Amino acid sequence: NAGVTQTPKFQVLKTGQSMTLQCAQDMNHNSMYWYRQDPGMGLRLIYYSASEGTTDKGEVPNGYNVSRLNKREFSLRLESAAPSQTSVYFCASSEVSGGTYEQYFGPGTRLTVT
């Protein structure tokens, strides 16, 4: 049981390049999330998917797109990377039950945009 996996672990991009961050979970959870973590800013939600087939914007969606490929996989795409997108990106999944749910996080992708 791997939990939540993310690839790649590290990535360096030049301004304007594009890339896709991959996330997969093997816990059969309905909900999946993408966060970014910056020093002093805590976690900020980029996009989430409450269930397969749905996606919604979070707090900081500009410059990103997502795809819920199936129940297991939720990818995050940067179409034209900017230095402001240098951050650590975390994927998470959870199962909502009666309004109580805990999140399971992946190990993160450390992205630098030069």
Partner 1 sequence: GNSVTQMEGPVTLSEEAFLTINCTYTATGYPSLFWYVQYPGEGLQLLLKATKADDKGSNKGFEATYRKETTSFHLEKGSVQVSDSAVYFCALSPGSGGSYIPTFGRGTSLIVHP
| Residue 65: partners with Cβ closer than 8 Å, 6 or more residues away | 76, 77, 79
Among 31, 85, 87, 93, binds partner 1 (CB under 8 A): 31
Q: Is 101 in the site for partner 1 (CB under 8 A)?
A: yes
CA distance 34 to 52: 15
Q: How far is the CB of 16 from partner 1 (least distance, A)?
A: 29
Q: What are the angstrom distances between the C-alpha of 82 and each of 49, 79, 90?
A: 24, 10, 18
Beta carbon nearer to partner 1, 19 or 50: 50
Contact 76, 20 (CB under 8 A): yes
CB of 99 to partner 1, least distance (A): 4
Does position 53 interact with partner 1 (CB under 8 A)? The reply is no
55 makes contact with partner 1 (CB under 8 A)? no
Considering the complex, state which of residue 78 and residue 92 has its C-beta at the smaller distance from partner 1.
92
Determine how many CB atoms are found less than 10 A away from the CB of residue 101: 14
* Cα distances (Å, whole numbers) of residue 90 to 48, 98, 104, 107: 12, 25, 10, 7
Is 48 among the residues that bind partner 1 (CB under 8 A)? yes
Binding site for partner 1 (CB under 8 A): 4, 31, 40-43, 45, 48, 50, 58, 90, 92, 94, 96, 98-108
